[in-house]
Amino acid sequence: MHRFANPTRFLRLAAAVLPFSAAVAALCLGAGLVWGLFFAPPDYQQGDTVRIMFIHVPSAMMAMGVYAGMAISSAIALIWRHAIADLIAKASAPIGATFTFICLLTGSLWGKPMWGTWWVWDARLTSMLIMLFIYLGYMALWQAFDDQTKAARAAAILALVGAINLPVIKFSVEWWNTLHQPASLITMEGPKIHESLLWPLLLMIVGFGAYYLTVLIFRVRAEIHQRRTRMLRMAQADRHNAMQAAD
C-alpha cells in the first residue's frame, strides 16, 4: 500500500537533520538579532528604523521561498503520488502565511516613518497581500475536504496555479515603478548593501531558513503521527465490528 508511503525513511532523515537545523536557527537568529539591533550602525538616511530590515527582508524572502517549496512539493505529489510531499506542502502553508504576515506587518511599520503612511497600494505590497490570500485559500481548501487524499490533490492543483503570483511579486518592482525599493541584495551586480548591514542580514536570512526547516520537521512529524492514529483507530473499529458480526 504505497499510498501510505512508509514514512520511516523520512522520519529517520528528519531526526538526523533536526538537531542541526535547530542549532543553526538558534545561533543565527540570536547572533543576527544582537548584531543587527545593537551593533550595526544606523543608516545615514533612515536612522534606527533601518533595523526593521533584519526582520522584514528575511521574512519577505521566506514568504516567497516557502511558497516556491510548497509548489514544488505539490508538483512532486501530483506526479509521483508521494505522500510525504503532500504533507510537506500542507505543513509549509501556515508557516509561509505567518512569514507573509510578518513581512506585511514589518513593512507597514517601516512604511509609516519612511513613506508617511502605513500602507500604499503599490505593486509589491499588493502582490504580497495577494500572496497572503493565496496561502489562506490553500489552507482553507485543505480544511474543506474530509478525505485527506482528495484534499491533497485539490490543494496541490491550487498551489501550482497560484505559483504564477511568485514572478509577479519578484519582478513587480521592475515592471511597475513603485515606492518600494528595488532589489539590492540579489542582483546581477552582486549585493548593493553596505557590509556593516549585509552580514547581520545574511545571518538573519540563514536563521529564518533554518527556523523554517525546524518547524517544518515538527509539523510533518505531527501529521504523520496523526495519520497513524487515525489508521489505528479505524482498524480497531473494523476489528470490533467484525467481532460483533461474528457473535
Partner 1 sequence: MSRTFLMLIRRDLLLAHRQGGGSLLAIAFFVLVVSLFPLGVGPAPEMLERIAAGTIWVAALLSVLLSLDRMFQADLEDGSLDQLALLPIPLALVVLAKTIAHWLTTGLPLTLTAPLLGLLMQLSPDAYGALVAGMLLGTPILSLIGAIGAALTVGVRRGGVLLTLIVTPLYIPILIFGVSAVEAAAQGFAISAHMLFLSALLSGTIVIAPIAAAWSLKLALD
Partner 2 sequence: MQGQVSTAAAVLEGRDLAALRGERLIFANLDFTVSAGELLKLVGRNGAGKSTLMRMIAGLVTPFAGQISWHGSPVRDDPDGFCADMIYAGHQDGLKTALSAAENLDLFARLRGIRSQPADQALAAFGIADLADLPVRYMSAGQRRRVSLARLLVAPASLWLLDEPLTALDTSAIEQLGSVVDAHRDGGGMVIAATHADLPGSPGKVLEIVPPDPFEDDAEPSA
Task: Please report whether residue 244 would count as binding partner 2 according to CB under 8 A.
Answer: yes
Using Cβ positions, the residue closest to ligand HEM within the complex turns out to be 107
Task: Please report whether residue 185 would count as binding partner 1 according to CB under 8 A.
Answer: no
* Contacts by 106-109, CB closer than 8 A, 24 or more apart: 106/52, 106/55, 106/56, 106/59, 107/56, 107/60, 109/52
Dist. CA 243–CA 112, nearest whole Å = 68
Contact 178, 172 (CB under 8 A): yes
Please, is 231 exposed, middle or buried when counting C-beta atoms within 10 Å of its C-beta (0-12, 13-18, 19+)? exposed
Task: Please report whether residue 169 would count as binding ligand HEM according to CB under 6 A.
Answer: yes
One-letter amino acid at 106 equals: T
Q: Given the rule CB under 8 A, which of 58-66, 83-91, 112-120, 238-246 is the region that contacts partner 2?
A: 238-246
Q: Given the rule CB under 6 A, which of 21-29, 102-110, 143-151, 160-168 is the region that contacts ligand HEM?
A: 102-110
Q: Residue 84 is placed in which grid cell?
A: 510525504
Q: Which residues, in sequence order, are bridge partners of residue 43?
A: 47
Nearer to ligand HEM, 51 or 219 (CB): 51
Contact 128, 169 (CB under 8 A): yes
Question: Which residues 6+ apart lie within 8 Å of 162 measured at CB?
Answer: 67, 71, 134, 137, 138
Task: Please report whether residue 51 would count as binding ligand HEM according to CB under 6 A.
Answer: no
**x/- string (CB under 8 A) for partner 2, residues 141-160?**
-----xxxx-----------
Nearer to partner 1, 99 or 142 (CB): 142
Q: Which of residues 119-148 bind partner 1 (CB under 8 A)?
A: 119-122, 126, 129-130, 133-134, 136-137, 140-141, 143-145
The entry of partner 2, ligand HEM, partner 1, none near residue 103 (CB within 5 to 8 angstroms by kind) is ligand HEM
Residue 47 backbone dihedrals phi, psi, to 5 degrees: 65, -145
Q: Give me the residues that bind ligand HEM (CB under 6 A), please.
A: 53, 56-57, 60-61, 103-104, 107-108, 110-111, 114-115, 124-125, 128, 169-170, 180-181, 183-186
Q: Give me the residues that bind partner 2 (CB under 8 A), please.
A: 1, 3-4, 146-149, 227-228, 230-232, 234-235, 237-242, 244
